Structure 1
Amino acid sequence: MADVLDTYGSVVLDAKGYGFVSFTPESFRTWRVTIINVRTDQGPTQVPIPQATVYLGSIGPGQIVSQTWMGNRSTASGEVLVQPSQQLIVEWANGVPGSRATASIYGTQTMR
């Protein structure tokens, strides 16, 4: 039987407007992530507007599972299966330094 997955993480963007948060399922849990909402606390029209990229496992070009050019208020879509030993990483780039970026993930989790 699947349980609801509903969690979030946040980071303050550094002097270059960069930051990331990572999520890892608890032992023996598998996540089926269906929605990843990303946002920052900067104003909706304040520039620069960060981009958000979602990676599975590690940060690298071959690990991208979703991305959005509107990382200050958007949904990075697509279904992602995250195993207990994997990380789901949400990265922001080119944002407003000092702003807080938050990722909320939703879906289901099951015991493995």
Structure 2
Amino acid sequence: MNKATTATAIAFALTTALTAVSMPVVATDGASSEKCYGVALKGKNDCAAGPGTSCAGTAKVDYQGNAWKLVPAGTCLETVSPTSPTGHGQLEAFKEVKA
């Protein structure tokens, strides 16, 4: 192997390792996660995006008040949501406030 190929292989391996380490761990079981309304980005909600939508990936705008995302239990009320009346995620759907 030449030096360029070796350097490329090492760079690829390092990038892959760093990407894996930096990816967030998402809880999927009900006991360690909770529905958090108003924190999902457009098209990135987990489900229940309200009237006119079907389910996952159907939020029409960022931080939609009736669209939720699963988050680790106990973190929802600390998660930023610019459309929420409190500025943080909510455990129930809400009417968005305009900034």
Q: Which has the higher strand share?
A: 1
Could you state the TM-score of these two structures normalised by the residue count of structure 1?
0.26
Could you state the TM-score of these two structures normalised by the residue count of structure 2?
0.29
Larger RCO: 1 or 2 (CA < 8 Å, sep 6+): 1
Kindly name which structure, 1 or 2, has the bigger radius of gyration based on alpha carbons: 2
Q: Which has the higher helix share?
A: 2
